[in-house]
Amino acid sequence: MVSSAEGTLGWEPATRHTELLAAPVAGAIGTTPSALVAPIDPTLADTAAFCEAYDVAMEHSANCVVVAGKRGGELRYAAVLVLASMRADINGAVRRHLDVRKISFAPMDQAVELTTMEYGGITPIGLPADWPVLVDDAVVAAGRVVIGSGIRASKVLVDTADLVALPTAQVLSLAQ
């Protein structure tokens, strides 16, 4: 069997199953009309375990990380979305794009508090309105990707065109 974006999950329209989404994701899911959701075993939420257990291709699974950068005492947050099969160039491309001197992954407790999503389930849908969502061009080329749902007990399958249409989304070349 060839792995795909859908894998072996039973996908349903996300707008009809908001109980499977974190509150901010449920509130914003209408902006992503293609979004489907499926419950998963939360112990398998980490990307490698998830892809293996549910036969989802790594090339169709995208990770969302929260970064924090500083310049002149100002702290700037952003979300970075890259394929699970790639690594984001946080210290190069992301740092330059955000025009910050120092950048790092936001500490887990900070990322969870600011997004009101579970660690390991953070997703670009429903993030704070002033955060840039930096989408790697390889994610866009993938067509459909599996992303977090804001909780570890489910995943969202979405057309990347809907991710690019998010109000603060910017497509860049971010992978190393």
Percent of the chain scoring above 70 in pLDDT: 98
Residue 34 pLDDT level (bands cut at 50, 70, 90): very high
Residue 3 within any structural domain of the chain: no
Query: What is the tally of structural domains in the chain?
Result: 1
**pTM, two decimal places:** 0.93
**Residue 77, in any domain of the structure:** yes
Whether residue 7 is contained in a domain is answered as no
| Cβ neighbour number for residue 174 with a 10 Å cutoff | 24
Torsion of CA 10, 51, 20, 111, to 10 degrees: -170
Residue 5 lies in a domain: no
Q: Which two tokens stand for residue 27?
A: 């509130």
Where residue 102 sits, what CATH number does that domain have?
3.90.960.10
The closest of 1, 121, 109 to 50, measured between CA atoms, is: 121
Taking all residues of the chain, what is their mean pLDDT, rounded to a whole number?
Answer: 94
85 within domain boundaries = yes
Q: Within a domain: residue 4? A: no
Range of the domain at 150: 12-172
